[in-house]
Amino acid sequence: APAQSLTGRRVAITAGPTREALDPVRFLSNHSSGKMGFALAAAAQRAGADVTLIAGPVSLATPPGVKRVDVIDARQMKEAAERAADLCDLFIGAAAVADFRPVEVAQQKIKKRGGSDTDSLALVKNPDIVAGIAGRRERRPFTVGFAAETEKVEEHARDKLKRKKLDLIIANDVSVPGGGFNSDRNAVTVIGADGATHLPSTLKSELADQLIEIIAARAFAR
Ligand code: PMT
C-alpha cells in the first residue's frame, strides 16, 4: 500500500484532451485518453489526498473517492482549474490542452467553398492553465506540469519549467512506441530546479504511485 504522503492535502489534477469547436459537428483535439491524469488522481487518493479531477472529454470511469468535474474546451478547463486551485495545496496539469482554438465558432455546419482545393482556418491562442496557476502571487499551490515532447525532450521540458514558473515538470517523450498518448504504460523524467529523476516504462497506475511519492516529498517535505 502507498504511504499516506498526502493525508490532509487537497490536490487538483487536469486530465485528457480539450475539444475546440469549429462548428456544431466539428472540433480540434488530440489523442490524449486521460489515462495518465486519471491514474495520478487515483494514486493521490490512495496517498490520502482529497482529490478534484478536472477531465476533458474521455471515456474513463471516475476513480473511487475522487471528485470529478467534466469540461469540454480549454476555457472551461481553465475556469474549473482556477476554482479548484483556489482551494488546493498541489496542482498537477496532466491534460493535453489545445494550444489554439478557432477564432470563430460557426453557428451552422461550415460548407465547402466551391472552386478551391485548399482552405485555411484562423486560430487564436488559448490561455495557459498551468502557467496561470503557477504565476499566482496569492493562493499558489505547489504546481506541477507535464511536457509532451517528440525531440530534445529534456531541453524543451526545462524551458517549459522556467517559462511557466512550475515547481516540477514531468518530461514525457511521446515519440516512444508503447508510451505517452493513449498507452497503458509510460516512461517519464521528473525535472526540478535541482535535478532530474528518470522513471522507466511501467504501467501508468504504477508510474502514478511513483510520481505522487516524488511530488509529495518535494512539495511537503518537512
Ligand atoms: O492522456 P493519456 O492518453 O494518458 O496521455 C498522457 C499525456 C501524454 C497526455 C500526458 O502524459 C502529458 O504529457 N500531458 C501533457 C500534454 C501536453 O499538452 O503537454 P504540453 O507540453 O503541450 O504542455 C505543457 C504543460 O502545460 C502541460 O502541463 C499542459 O497541461 C499545460 N498546458 C498547456 C497548454 C495550455 N493552454 N494550458 C496548459 O495548462
Write out the three cell numbers for 37.
Answer: 491524469
CA of 108 to the centre of ligand 1 (A): 31
Please compute the mean of the pLDDT values over residues 99-109 and round it to a whole number: 97
In this predicted structure, the answer to whether residue 203 has a pLDDT above a threshold of 70 is: yes
Total domains present in the chain: 1
Is the interface score ipTM higher than 0.90?
yes
The torsion defined by the Cα of 89, 189, 174 and 128, in degrees rounded to 10, comes to 30
Going by alpha carbons, the residue nearest to atom 18 of ligand 1 is 96
Please tell me the distance between residue 170's alpha carbon and the centre of ligand 1 in angstroms.
10
What lies within 8 Å, CB to CB, of 73 at 6+ separation is 18, 19, 20, 21, 98, 101
Predicted TM-score (pTM) of the model is 0.97
We report the CATH number of the domain holding residue 71 as 3.40.50.10300
Domain assignment present for residue 145? The answer is yes
Asked if pLDDT for residue 75 goes beyond 90, the answer is: yes
- Between strands 10-15 and 50-55, the pairing is parallel
Q: What number does the ligand 1 atom closest to the CA of 188 have?
A: 11
Q: Note whether residue 170 is domain-resident.
A: yes
Residues noted as catalytic: 30
Q: Could you read off the pLDDT of 143-183 as tens digits, one per residue?
A: 999 999 999 999 999 999 999 999 999 999 999 999 999 99
Domain holding 211, by residue range, is: 10-100+123-220
Q: What is the pLDDT of residues 183-193, one digit of tens each?
A: 999 999 999 99
CA distances from 127 to 3, 79, 80, 100 (A): 36, 10, 13, 9
